[in-house]
């Protein structure tokens, strides 16, 4: 930086104390630097630095000075004054510095400089000098006082005036110097600017012309000369019109002058002529230049030769137009993309995407014009990015794309993306071609091809295409492959001779040729050979067609195996129809449509007489309308009716037939026909009467046997109930008959029995029954009895007849007697069996009392009845009083050692007798209603216990015993369902019903149906006491039970008795075969359990595990039970 | 083989003096006689079933009557226990017969008749008569049992 010394150091300033003088010189330097700043207009931060430096240095200097003064003049008034002067300086500098914000920099600096100059002068020249003199005096040895006096003297009073003068001259000098220096700097700056401007004008690539107000050229630069070819001398003073080419329209010049005259800047293009006559285009900016007073004095023209640019522009424009038209008229959508955004697009693209304008297209991305997913399910956004990136990196990318119009319609497109540089930027040209039509066409083609192939392939008939010349199979369908059992690949290119059974081809070939030539529809009764050797009958249709110019045979083979079968069946059916049974077929309207020969033979009607008629033409008139209505109801409901019916022959004779009518239904289940099979059972009927007689009669005496007696009793008892009359049930035993047999032989005995039977029959009315039960036991049923005497009259007669001698064989006379017991119904209101027993009982009484007499059964005296009745009453009361209990006996799995269930066993908690076991009372109930009641209680109680278990979280099966009688009750299953319903918390599978095997076998079909019904409710079943009932496998199969319980007798004996062991093993095997669980009952020891486990038995029950226990004890028992290790017992 | 056991005729040695008990005892005597009559060594299961059935009924019905009387009339506890025990034994035996029958094991005629005869002699003629004499004692506030 330029610097000036406005306050040059002068030796007069020296105080004589070296350190002080050095520091004074430093202060003067700072003062001068500040002055330079002012002169050269430096910036503020530098000024701040100077202030700070000045202040800091002043303080440092003052400390040095004060230290010296203090050393020599401690606590002197001079020292204090001096110090005050210092403080004053610091304060003033501070004030000046703070003025910076409010006053111009120049002003601040000027004031500062003025203050500094004055202060330096007075302080250094006066104060410091004075002090220095004192110090020097004292250093020379003078006392302080003396030194002060000397110093005072040394500084002349006039000196002060001198200082003021010096100071004022310094002050004005300083101000002038500064001013001058400032101007100097400004001038230098102007000169520099002009120099740069002149260089710029001269070296500007633009032509610059300056004319005076009259357009005489005053100045041109080098570029002008270069462009026009003129020299400076040739143009200075000339009018610029020398450049005029005549090509620029006059209007332009006119406009130019108007603009310039208005004092405004004109800008435009001119076509000018160089010195050599060549033309050039220039762009000109011409502006008037105004003088200070506001009038234009010159014109300045800055012009640029734009000939080359102009030509380039034209070329570009042409090329652009060419390109545009290609771009615009392309059928493909063409779009430019920057990054992944469209920036431009042709009209095809707008039309294709349904975008209304290029503006609207701008900023869209391919994703905006695509569905979310491409046809392969990929996300469009991901795929698009990949393709765009590829185009940018590889230069291009071509792919199929699913686009979407703005209106949402999607179309398939083929897209090409091509990258190229445009103005240093890589852009993409996107070429999008709508190929949805093409796709559609492709798809249609594929579909129609597929359809054709499917049709051919799915055709049920086998189709072969055979080269007529070579006989090779060219093609075939799937059915062909199936028909022959050969792969298509195996068939194709094989000879047609391989299609047919060996050695038969020539025969077939001839037939087929005839067929082709004759055009006959079908070549029948042909056959092909299946791979597995079967000969398959086929119909063949063959046609000669041309394929690719070659004659080929199109052969359609139809497998007619099924048809053949149907034909065979029909033949069989037709044969069967003409069987020994009469057959009659009607249509759905019950009009006879066909009968067979046998029917004609039986009925006497010919087919012609019957066809079209209703079968009622055959009816005998013996059955009422209800009978036929029932019959048709049954046919329509169940599809079949079978029974015996009386029909009438054409001859008028009525005859019995066994008729089966079956409804024939079509696939829609509509009845199409009724088929009646009809056999004349006239002879059978006669035979049947004989058989029935045998079945119901005693072969010896021809009297009704026990079966017929039971029937007759049933009838007699119900009649008696209706008529209020009594029936006598009479038992007769011949006294001494055994002896007759023993003495005279069985034949004689038989003869006697026959004779006795006759006599008895003579004693009774015809409507009464005399029957023989066997041996010498006879039973009479006497109806229409009004009192005891009625009956006894007859009985006396019988007794009398019996005592008459019997003449048997060779006129031997035998004498016997009879003992008779009887009872009267309804006085004795028992059932048939009991009545018989009562009569029998009375008969014993008669025998006891001496024979040849009759005894009447006396109900009141029949103690046994009393006992039975009494016992039943007790049980009934006990049930009402809630004295029955279910005891629980656990069942344990041998596999897991876990308790898996329990059996509920009934106990009678008798108030006096204590626990009564079922064996003591259950048998009494067997034939009594009460057993049903008790059985029901058992199921309900079982469910109640199960309910308790469910609440305690015990998930075990509880089995209850159900008697055969209870099971056979008609409402058993519905009652069970109701009980289950009552305990909804209990899953039905937790209830198991145990029925005794022998009971189940009593009425197997009913019981198996019942088991099914109950299992449908979810209840399980087990067969109790298994092994005692001689179940056959078939029976077991029919009884759908879950569990077989091995009877305890076998379990008990099995370790000692090989037979028992075999049975146990057999039952386990059987159970396994039927997938049943086995429970061994009555397991008393662990060795038994171990053996059972070894044999594969699943579950055990018995004392070994636990005795039956009150239900309330069971949960506690359950928690402590632990199965021992059975290995220890093997 | 029939009738080789004599029928038991109801007689004073069997009478306990308590009418209701005696009437029931007669039932047993009848049963015994009938068994005697009907049973042969070849008798089928049905006959046995009928007899056992009757015995079960009888045991329930009759013992209930006797035991109720004992309880009601505060029969001596130890005698009651003995009496009850005999009843239980009878019941158990009949129950066993019933069970055997169920398992197709038939008792022999002689065995059955022997058992019933033994009961007649040992229980009715001793234990029941003892009870009878107790019940027939005139009791001040209850009056005679008839």
Facing residue for A919 by CB, picked from B38, B65, B98:
B98
**A920/B94 Cβ within 8 A:** yes
In chain B, helix, strand, coil percent, each to 5? 70, 0, 30
pLDDT of residue A960: 95
pLDDT of residue B107: 79
Facing residue for B26 by CB, picked from A863, A1028, A1049:
A863
Percent of chain A with pLDDT over 90: 17
User: Which residues have a Cβ under 8 Å from the Cβ of A73 and sit 6 or more positions away?
Assistant: A79, A134, A144
pLDDT of residue A235: 87
In this predicted model, what pLDDT tens digit does every residue of A899-944 receive, in sequence order? 999 999 999 999 888 899 998 888 888 777 788 889 999 999 999 9
**A875/B60 Cβ within 8 A:** yes
Q: Of A860, A857, A833, nearest to A845 (Cα)?
A: A857
pLDDT of residue A654: 85
- Is pLDDT at B141 greater than 70 in this prediction? no
More confident residue, A635 or A72: A635
Residue A554: helix, strand or coil by DSSP?
Answer: strand
Torsions phi, psi for A445 (to 5 deg): -60, -45
In this predicted model, what pLDDT tens digit does every residue of A424-461 receive, in sequence order? 788 888 888 888 888 888 888 777 777 777 777 777 78
pLDDT of residue A523: 60
Q: How many inter-chain contacts (A to B, CB under 8 Å) are there?
A: 82
pLDDT of residue A834: 80
pLDDT of residue B3: 42
Listing DSSP states for A747-769 in one string gives: HHHHHHHHHHHHHHHHHS-TTSE
Closest residue of chain A to B25, computed from CA coordinates = A863
**A875/B54 Cβ within 8 A:** no
Does residue A302 contact residue A285 with C-beta atoms inside 8 Å? yes
Q: What one-character DSSP code corresponds to residue A1129?
A: G
CB contacts, 8 Å: A868 with chain B: 53-54, 57, 61
Taking residues A387-411, report their average pLDDT.
Answer: 88
Residue A181 pLDDT grade (very low, low, confident, very high; cuts 50, 70, 90): low
Residue A58 pLDDT grade (very low, low, confident, very high; cuts 50, 70, 90): confident
**A923/B52 Cβ within 8 A:** yes
**B54/A868 Cβ within 8 A:** yes
More confident residue, A936 or A48: A936
Closest residue of chain B to A919, computed from CA coordinates = B95
B88 at interface of A, judged by CB pairs closer than 8 A: yes
Taking residues A384-393, report their average pLDDT.
Answer: 89
Name the minimum distance, in Å, from the CA of A997 to any CA of chain B.
12
Degrees (nearest 5) of the Cα angle A457, A461, A465? 70
B80 at interface of A, judged by CB pairs closer than 8 A: no
Residue A161 pLDDT grade (very low, low, confident, very high; cuts 50, 70, 90): low
pLDDT of residue B144: 42
Mean pLDDT of chain B: 82
Taking residues A61-85, report their average pLDDT.
Answer: 78
Mutate to test the interface with A, among B55, B60, B100 (most CBs of A within 10 A): B60
Distance CA A529, CA A485 (A): 9
Distance CA A91, CA A62 (A): 13
User: Among the residues of A983-1019, which ranges form H helices?
Assistant: 997-1002, 1004-1016
* Rg (chain B; Cα; Å): 16
**B56/A912 Cβ within 8 A:** no
**Prior bond of A783 cis (ω within 30°):** no
In this predicted model, what pLDDT tens digit does every residue of A94-109 receive, in sequence order? 887 777 777 777 777 7
pLDDT of residue A441: 82
- Is pLDDT at B5 greater than 70 in this prediction? no
CB contacts, 8 Å: A916 with chain B: 91
Degrees (nearest 5) of the Cα angle A824, A827, A830? 85
- Is pLDDT at A50 greater than 80 in this prediction? no
* Top mean-pLDDT range of A181-190, A518-527, A713-722: A713-722
Closest residue of chain A to B37, computed from CA coordinates = A844
pLDDT of residue A39: 66
Listing DSSP states for A248-307 in one string gives: S-HHHHHHHHHHHHTT--EEEEEEEE-TTS-EEEEEEEEEEEE-TTS-EEEEEEEEEE-H
**A863/B23 Cβ within 8 A:** yes
In this predicted model, what pLDDT tens digit does every residue of A653-672 receive, in sequence order? 888 888 888 888 887 788 88
CB contacts, 8 Å: A917 with chain B: 95
Neighbouring CB atoms inside 10 A of A1082's CB total: 19
**How far, CA to CA in Å, does A827 sit from each of A793, A824, A927?**
18, 6, 21
**A871/B61 Cβ within 8 A:** yes
Residue B40 pLDDT grade (very low, low, confident, very high; cuts 50, 70, 90): confident
More confident residue, A863 or B35: B35
Q: Tell whether the torsion through CA atoms of A63, A68, A71 and A76 is positive or negative.
A: negative
Taking residues B30-39, report their average pLDDT.
Answer: 78
In this predicted model, what pLDDT tens digit does every residue of B67-116 receive, in sequence order? 999 999 999 999 999 999 999 999 999 999 888 887 777 778 888 888 88
Distance CA A858, CA A788 (A): 12
pLDDT of residue A778: 94
Name the minimum distance, in Å, from the CA of A862 to any CA of chain B.
8
pLDDT of residue A468: 80
Q: What's the per-residue H, E or C state across A669-685?
A: CCEEEEEEEEEECHHHH
**A921/B98 Cβ within 8 A:** no
A860 at interface of B, judged by CB pairs closer than 8 A: no
**A923/B59 Cβ within 8 A:** no
- Is pLDDT at B14 greater than 60 in this prediction? yes
Taking residues A117-146, report their average pLDDT.
Answer: 78
More confident residue, A951 or A61: A951
Mean pLDDT of chain A: 83
pLDDT of residue A443: 80
In this predicted model, what pLDDT tens digit does every residue of A466-510 receive, in sequence order? 888 888 888 888 888 888 888 888 888 888 888 888 777 777 777
Q: Which of A525-539, A712-726, A1082-1096 has the lowest mean pLDDT?
A: A525-539
**A863/B98 Cβ within 8 A:** no
Q: Which of A32-41, A1109-1118, B49-58 has the lowest mean pLDDT?
A: A32-41
* Top mean-pLDDT range of A173-182, A247-256, A975-984, A1000-1009: A975-984
Taking residues A944-962, report their average pLDDT.
Answer: 94
pLDDT of residue B2: 40
**B60/A871 Cβ within 8 A:** yes
Residue A947 pLDDT grade (very low, low, confident, very high; cuts 50, 70, 90): very high
Residue A983 pLDDT grade (very low, low, confident, very high; cuts 50, 70, 90): very high
Q: Which of A155-169, A279-293, A799-813, A870-884 has the lowest mean pLDDT?
A: A155-169
Percent of chain A with pLDDT over 70: 92
**A1049/B103 Cβ within 8 A:** yes
So what's the ipTM on this one? Answer: 0.89
């Amino acid at each position: 930086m330029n610097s000036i010394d406005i306050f040059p150091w002068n030796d007069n300033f020296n105080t004589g104390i070296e350190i002080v003088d050095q520091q004074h010189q430093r202060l003067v330097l700072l003062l001068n630097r500040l002055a330079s700043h002012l002169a050269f207009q430096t910036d503020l931060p530098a000024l701040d630095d100077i202030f700070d430096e000045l202040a800091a240095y002043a303080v440092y200097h003052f400390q040095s000075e004060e230290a010296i003064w203090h050393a020599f003049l401690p606590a002197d008034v001079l020292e204090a004054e001096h110090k005050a002067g210092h403080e004053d300086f610091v304060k003033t500098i501070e004030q000046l510095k703070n003025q910076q914000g409010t006053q111009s920099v120049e002003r601040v600096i000027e004031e500062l400089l003025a203050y500094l100059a004055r202060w330096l002068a007075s302080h250094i020249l006066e104060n410091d000098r004075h002090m220095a003199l004192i110090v020097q005096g004292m250093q020379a040895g003078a006392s302080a006082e003396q030194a002060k006096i000397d110093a005072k003297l040394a500084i002349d009073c006039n000196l002060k005036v001198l200082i003021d003068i010096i100071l004022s001259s310094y002050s004005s000098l300083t101000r002038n110097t500064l001013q001058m220096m400032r101007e100097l700097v400004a001038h230098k700056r102007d000169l520099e600017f002009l120099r740069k401007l002149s260089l710029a004008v001269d070296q500007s690539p633009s032509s610059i012309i300056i004319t005076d107000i009259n357009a005489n050229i005053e100045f041109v630069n080098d570029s002008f000369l270069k462009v026009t070819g003129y020299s400076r001398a040739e143009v200075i003073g000339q009018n610029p019109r020398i450049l005029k080419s005549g090509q620029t329209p006059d209007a332009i010049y006119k406009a130019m002058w108007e603009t310039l005259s208005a004092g405004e800047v004109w800008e435009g293009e001119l076509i000018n002529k160089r010195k050599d006559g060549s033309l050039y285009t220039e762009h000109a900016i011409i502006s008037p230049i105004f003088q200070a007073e506001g009038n234009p004095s010159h014109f300045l023209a800055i012009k640029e030769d734009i000939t080359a640019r102009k030509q380039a522009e034209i070329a570009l424009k042409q090329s652009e137009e060419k390109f545009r038209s290609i771009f615009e008229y392309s059928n493909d959508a063409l779009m430019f993309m920057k990054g992944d955004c469209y920036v431009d697009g042709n009209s095809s693209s707008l039309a294709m995407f349904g975008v209304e304008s290029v503006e609207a297209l701008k900023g869209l991305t391919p994703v905006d014009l695509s569905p979310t997913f491409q046809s392969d399910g990929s996300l469009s956004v991901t795929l698009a990015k990949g393709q765009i990136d590829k185009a940018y990196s590889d230069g291009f990318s071509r792919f199929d794309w699913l686009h979407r119009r703005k209106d949402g319609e999607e179309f398939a497109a083929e897209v090409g993306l091509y990258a190229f540089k445009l103005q240093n930027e890589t852009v993409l040209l996107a070429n999008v071609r709508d190929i949805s039509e093409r796709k559609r066409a492709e798809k249609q083609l594929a579909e129609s091809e597929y359809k054709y192939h499917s049709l051919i392939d799915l055709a049920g008939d086998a189709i072969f295409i055979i080269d007529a010349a070579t006989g090779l199979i060219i093609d075939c369908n799937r059915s062909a492959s199936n028909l022959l059992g050969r792969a298509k690949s195996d068939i194709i290119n094989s000879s047609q001779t391989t299609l047919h059974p060996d050695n038969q081809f020539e025969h077939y070939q001839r037939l087929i040729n005839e067929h082709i030539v004759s055009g006959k529809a079908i070549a029948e009764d042909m056959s092909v050979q299946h791979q597995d050797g079967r000969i398959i009958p086929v119909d063949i249709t063959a046609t000669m067609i041309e394929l690719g110019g070659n004659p080929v045979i199109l052969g359609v083979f139809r497998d007619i195996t099924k048809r053949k079968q149907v034909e065979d069946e029909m033949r069989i059916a037709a044969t069967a129809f003409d069987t020994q049974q009469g057959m009659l077929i009607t249509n759905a309207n019950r009009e006879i449509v066909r009968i067979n020969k046998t029917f004609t033979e039986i009925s006497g009607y010919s087919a012609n007489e019957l066809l079209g008629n209703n079968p009622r033409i055959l009816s005998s008139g013996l059955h009422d309308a209800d009978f036929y209505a029932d019959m048709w109801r049954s046919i329509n409901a169940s599809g079949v009716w079978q029974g015996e019916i009386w029909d009438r022959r054409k001859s008028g004779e009525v005859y019995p037939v066994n008729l089966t009518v079956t409804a024939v239904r079509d696939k829609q289940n509509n009845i199409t026909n009724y088929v009646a099979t009809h056999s004349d059972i006239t002879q059978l009927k006669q035979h049947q009467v004989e058989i029935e007689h045998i079945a119901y009669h005693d072969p010896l005496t021809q009297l009704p046997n026990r079966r017929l007696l039971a029937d007759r009793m049933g009838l007699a008892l119900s009649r008696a109930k209706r008529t209020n009359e009594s029936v006598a049930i009479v038992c007769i035993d011949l006294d001494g008959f055994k002896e007759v047999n023993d003495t005279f032989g069985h034949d004689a005995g038989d003869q006697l029995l026959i004779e006795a039977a006759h006599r008895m029959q003579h004693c009774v009315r015809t409507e009464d029954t005399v029957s023989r039960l066997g041996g010498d036991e006879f039973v009479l049923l006497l109806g229409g009895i009004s009192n005891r005497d009625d009956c006894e009259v007859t009985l006396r007669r019988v007794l009398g007849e019996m005592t008459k001698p019997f003449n048997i064989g060779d006129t031997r006379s035998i004498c016997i007697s009879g003992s008779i017991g009887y009872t009267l119904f309804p006085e004795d209101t028992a059932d048939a069996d009991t009545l018989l027993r009562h009569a029998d009982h009375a008969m014993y009484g008669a025998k006891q009392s001496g024979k040849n007499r009759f005894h009447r059964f006396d109900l009141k005296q029949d103690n046994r009845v009393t006992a039975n009745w009494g016992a039943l009453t007790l049980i009934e009361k006990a049930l009402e009083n809630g004295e029955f209990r279910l005891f629980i006996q656990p069942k344990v799995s041998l596999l897991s050692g876990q308790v898996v269930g329990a059996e509920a066993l009934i106990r009678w908690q008798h108030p006096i007798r204590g626990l009564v076991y079922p064996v003591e009372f259950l048998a009494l109930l067997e034939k009594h209603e009460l057993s049903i009641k008790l059985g029901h209680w058992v199921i309900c109680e079982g469910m109640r216990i199960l309910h308790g278990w469910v609440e305690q979280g015990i998930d075990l099966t509880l089995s209850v015993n159900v008697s055969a009688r209870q099971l056979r009750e008609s409402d058993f299953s519905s009652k069970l369902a109701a009980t289950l319903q009552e305990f909804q918390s209990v899953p039905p599978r937790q209830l198991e019903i145990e029925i005794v095997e022998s009971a189940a076998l009593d009425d197997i079909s009913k019981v198996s149906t019942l088991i099914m019904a109950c299992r449908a409710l979810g209840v399980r079943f087990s067969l109790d006491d298994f092994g005692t009932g001689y179940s056959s496998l078939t029976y077991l199969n029919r009884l759908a039970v879950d569990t077989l319980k091995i009877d305890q007798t076998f379990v008990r004996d099995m370790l000692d008795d090989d037979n028992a062991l075999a049975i146990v093993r057999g039952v386990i095997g059987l159970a396994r075969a039927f997938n049943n669980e086995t429970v061994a009952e009555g397991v008393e020891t662990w060795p038994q359990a171990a053996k059972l486990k070894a044999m594969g038995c699943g579950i055990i029950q018995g004392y070994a595990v636990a005795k039956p226990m009150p239900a309330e004890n069971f949960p506690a028992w359950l928690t402590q039970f632990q199965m021992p290790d059975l290995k220890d017992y093997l | 083989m029939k009738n080789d056991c004599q029928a038991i005729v109801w007689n004073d040695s069997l009478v306990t003096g308590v009418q209701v008990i005696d009437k029931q005892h007669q039932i047993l005597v009848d049963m015994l006689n009938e068994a005697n009559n009907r049973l042969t060594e070849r008798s089928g299961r049905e006959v046995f079933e009928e007899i056992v059935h009757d015995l079960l009924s009888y045991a329930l019905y009759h013992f209930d009557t006797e035991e109720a009387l004992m309880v009601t009339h505060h029969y001596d506890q130890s005698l009651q226990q003995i009496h009850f025990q005999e009843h239980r034994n009878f019941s158990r035996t009949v129950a066993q017969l019933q069970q055997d029958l169920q398992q197709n094991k038939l008792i022999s005629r002689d065995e059955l008749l022997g058992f019933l005869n033994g009961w007649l002699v040992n229980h009715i003629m001793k234990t029941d008569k003892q009870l009878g004499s107790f019940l027939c004692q005139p009791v001040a506030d209850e009056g005679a049992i008839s």
